[in-house]
């Protein structure tokens, strides 16, 4: 970006990011924008208003994903975006940065066309788009990458619709209340067939780039990852009258699960997390009747994930047998390793190299919409350096200058891809 464009982009980025950050922000600085909630509705309105203000045409697909188009939607469209939902008490950058970056980059691309120059012209033939995928985090219904997988046809929609949130509301009812027809959710192959490339920009949520002294990374693959639900059934009892050796306390097997997950992950070189619990009756003075816990495991290889989970389950069973606790464990979701399109990655890398931008190749353990979409369309990911490496936390931060470096790179990439798609269409 030249200095004039940089100043313009900086102001637009700061303004859009500030507007979006205000939605779902609590007094402690944490962001909670769960899917299909009033906060999600406010973010959706922000998306539509921003699109219109920048001269883009907004629309929503049957899966609840939002799109904004510069020009008529047609074959070879080049799209950028991410998601607007967050985890509970998460950060401001995860997903939001990618949507804001998409808007700024598409706007800069259009502005360059208006101002003329070598990047003009071909955009007339190829549409640029911005997308915000619905419910990427799965923070309310444990249904991660809901919108992108539903769109692609890789989600068991019927099963997902029956999931319930903490208040017992089903996803089906939440969708209806939000104005999305649950029975209309399903793949849209025609829409997907028109997308020539999807490039998602995302905050890194790791410290690799800080350590390497680079502002950008280009995604290579997403590691396989899964979620397992663990139900431990004991017997409720009085904390003051039931002898310690006469209890069937599921908390002991839970404790074993937490420490076994940590030990197994260290042993296997995996990541394992027990980050969510439900306890019944959840009383200070009662031995629990039941504990439900969720185990999240990720590793470079699927066999490593499986080995880690097997070890955890064996440890839980040993403890539970000892205590007379019944164990149920079932897989709630599993995403195999995803390789981003090597051809698209090479095209993106060539643009970055030509502009003198350094982007480290990076595999990630985090799930992303671009990973889910990789099953249907060519996708690539650009990661912007984290300041401190935090993710899913209010401490999540990226420096403005790094965000702008990412936006500049994204603009160049979108324009070059649009030029190439135009050329390819012209050749047909
Ligand atoms: Zn994200």
Provide, rounded to the nearest whole percent, the portion of the chain with pLDDT above 90. Answer: 89
Residue 123 has pLDDT above 70, yes or no: no
Select from 387, 291, 370 the least CA-distant residue to 335. 370
Residues with Cβ within 8 Å of residue 254, at least 6 apart in sequence: 232, 277, 291, 293
Strands 195-203 and 379-384: parallel
CATH architecture observed for domain 3-223+337-427: 3-Layer(aba) Sandwich (3.40)
61 confidence band (pLDDT: 50, 70, 90): very high
Strands 128-133 and 216-222: unpaired
Sign of the alpha-carbon dihedral angle for 358, 364, 367, 371: positive
pLDDT at 114: 77
Q: How far apart are CA 154 and CA 170, in angstroms?
A: 21
Q: What integer pLDDT is reported at residue 43 of this predicted model?
A: 98
Q: Is the pLDDT of residue 115 over 80?
A: no
> 208 falls in which pLDDT band (50, 70, 90)?
very high
CA of 223 to the centre of ligand 1 (A): 15
Whole-number pLDDT of residue 74: 82
- Confidence check: pLDDT of 296 > 70: yes
Mean of pLDDT values over 346-372: 92
What mean pLDDT do residues 348-357 have?
93
Q: What local confidence, expressed as pLDDT, does residue 428 receive?
A: 58
Residue that has been written with the tokens 């690539």 in this structure: 380
Model confidence at 170: pLDDT above 90 = yes
Residues 6+ apart with CB under 8 A from 300: 223, 269, 363
Tokens read off for 296:
């999240």
pLDDT band at 160 (very low <50, low <70, confident <90, very high): very high
Q: What pLDDT, in 10s, does the model give residues 9-20?
A: 999 999 999 999
- Mean pLDDT, residues 50-65: 97
What is the Å distance from ligand 1's center to 82 Cα? Answer: 7
pLDDT range class, residue 420, cuts 50, 70, 90: confident
What CATH architecture is 225-335? 2-Layer Sandwich (3.30)
CA of 1 to the centre of ligand 1 (A): 26
Q: What are phi and psi of 77, to 5 degrees?
A: -55, 140
Which pLDDT value is given to residue 72? 81
What's the average model confidence in pLDDT over 15-42?
97
Separation between Cα atoms, residue 33 and residue 140, nearest integer Å = 10
Distance in Å, CA 288 to ligand 1 centroid: 35
136 Cα to the center of ligand 1, angstroms = 7
HEC sequence for the chain: CCHHHHHHHHHHHHHHHHHHHCCCECCCCCECCCCCCHHHHHHHHHHHHHHHHCCCEEEECCCCCEEEEECCCCCCEEEEEEECCCCCCECCCCCHHHHHHHHHHHHHHHHHHHHCCCCCCHHHCCCEEEEEECCCCCCCCCCCCHHHHHHHCCCCHHHHHCCECCCCCEHHHHHHHHCCCHHHCCCCHHHHHCEEEEEEEEECCCCHHHHHCCCEEEEEEECCEEEEEEEEECCCEECCCCCHHHCCCHHHHHHHHHHHHHHHHHHHCCEEEEEEEEEECCCCCEECCEEEEEEEEECCCHHHHHHHHHHHHHHHHHHHHHHCCEEEEEEEEEECCEECCHHHHHHHHHHHHHCCCCEEEEEECCCCHHHHHCCCCCEEEEEECCCCCCCCCCCCCCCHHHHHHHHHHHHHHHHHHHHHHHHHHHHC
Q: Residue 117 above 60 pLDDT?
A: no
**The tokens of 4 are what?**
């004039």
CA 188 vs CA 148, 184, 193, 278, 417: distances in Å:
11, 11, 9, 36, 23
Show the tokens assigned to 261. Answer: 């997950």
- What protein residues have CB closer than 5 angstroms to ion ligand 1? 94-95
pLDDT in tens, 230-246: 999 999 999 999 999 99
pLDDT at 305: 97
Q: Give the neighbor-by-neighbor strand order of the sheet with 290-298.
A: 271-280, 290-298, 225-233, 326-335
Q: What is the pLDDT of residues 318-332, one digit of tens each?
A: 999 999 999 999 998
As a whole number, mean pLDDT of residues 400-428 equals 89
What is the model's pLDDT at position 426? 73
Going from the Cα of 204 to the center of ligand 1, the distance in angstroms, rounded, reads 9
Average pLDDT over residues 61-71: 96
Instruction: Pick 280 or 75 by higher pLDDT.
Output: 280
Mean pLDDT in residue range 104-128: 76
427: pLDDT strictly greater than 90: no
> Quick check: 56 pLDDT over 80?
yes
Structure tokens at 279: 């306890």
CA of 306 to the centre of ligand 1 (A): 25
Q: How far is the CA of 396 from the centre of ligand 1 (A)?
A: 12
Cα 65 to averaged position of ligand 1 atoms, centre (Å) = 15
User: For residue 129, what pLDDT is reported?
Assistant: 96
Mean pLDDT of the chain: 94
Q: What is the pLDDT of residues 370-379, one digit of tens each?
A: 999 998 999 9
- CA nearest 35: which of 385, 379, 373, 369? 369
- Confidence band for 126, pLDDT divided at 50, 70 and 90: confident
CA 94–ligand 1 middle distance (angstroms): 4
> For residue 224, is pLDDT > 80?
yes
* Cα(5) to centroid(ligand 1), Å: 27
Domain definitions of the chain by residue range:
3-223+337-427, 225-335
Q: How confident is the model at residue 314 (pLDDT cuts 50, 70, 90)?
A: very high
**How far, in Å, from the CA of 284 to the mean position of ligand 1?**
36
């Amino acid at each position: 970006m030249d200095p004039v464009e940089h100043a313009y982009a900086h102001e637009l980025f700061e303004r859009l990011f500030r507007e979006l950050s205000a939605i779902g922000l609590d007094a402690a600085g944490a962001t909670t924008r769960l899917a299909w909630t009033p906060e999600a509705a406010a973010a959706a309105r922000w998306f539509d208003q921003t699109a219109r203000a920048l001269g883009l045409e907004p629309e929503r697909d049957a899966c609840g994903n939002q799109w904004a188009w510069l020009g008529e939607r047609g074959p070879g469209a080049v799209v950028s975006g991410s998601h607007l939902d967050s985890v509970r008490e998460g950060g401001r950058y995860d997903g939001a940065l990618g949507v804001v970056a998409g808007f700024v980059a598409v706007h800069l691309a259009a502005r360059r066309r208006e101002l003329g120059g070598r990047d003009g012209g071909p955009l007339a033939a190829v549409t640029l788009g911005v997308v915000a995928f619905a419910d990427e985090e799965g923070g309310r219904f444990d249904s991660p990458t809901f919108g992108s997988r539903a769109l692609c046809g890789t989600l068991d929609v019927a099963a997902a619709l029956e999931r319930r949130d903490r208040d017992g509301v089903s996803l089906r009812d939440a969708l209806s209340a939000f104005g999305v027809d649950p029975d209309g959710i399903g793949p849209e192959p025609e829409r997907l067939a028109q997308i020539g490339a999807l490039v998602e920009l995302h905050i890194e949520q790791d410290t690799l780039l800080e350590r390497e002294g680079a502002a950008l990374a280009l995604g290579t693959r997403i590691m396989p990852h899964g979620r397992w639900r663990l139900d431990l059934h004991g017997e409720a009892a009085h904390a003051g009258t039931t002898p310690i050796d006469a209890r069937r306390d599921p908390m002991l097997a839970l404790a074993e699960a937490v420490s076994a997950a940590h030990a197994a992950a260290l042993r296997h070189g995996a990541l394992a997390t027990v980050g969510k619990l439900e306890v019944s009756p959840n009383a200070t003075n009662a031995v629990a009747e039941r504990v439900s816990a969720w185990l999240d495991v990720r590793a470079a290889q699927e066999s490593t994930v499986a080995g880690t989970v097997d070890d955890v389950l064996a440890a839980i069973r040993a403890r539970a047998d000892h205590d007379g606790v019944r164990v149920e464990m079932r897989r709630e979701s599993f995403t195999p390793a995803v390789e981003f399109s090597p051809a698209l990655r090479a095209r993106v890398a060539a643009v970055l190299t030509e502009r003198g931008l350094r982007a480290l190749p990076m595999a990630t353990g985090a799930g992303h919409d671009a990973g889910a979409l990789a099953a249907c369309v060519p996708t690539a990911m650009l990661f912007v350096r984290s300041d401190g490496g935090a993710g899913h936390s209010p401490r999540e931060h990226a420096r403005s200058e790094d965000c702008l470096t990412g936006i500049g790179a994204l603009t160049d990439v979108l324009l070059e891809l649009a030029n190439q798609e135009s050329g390819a269409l012209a050749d047909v």
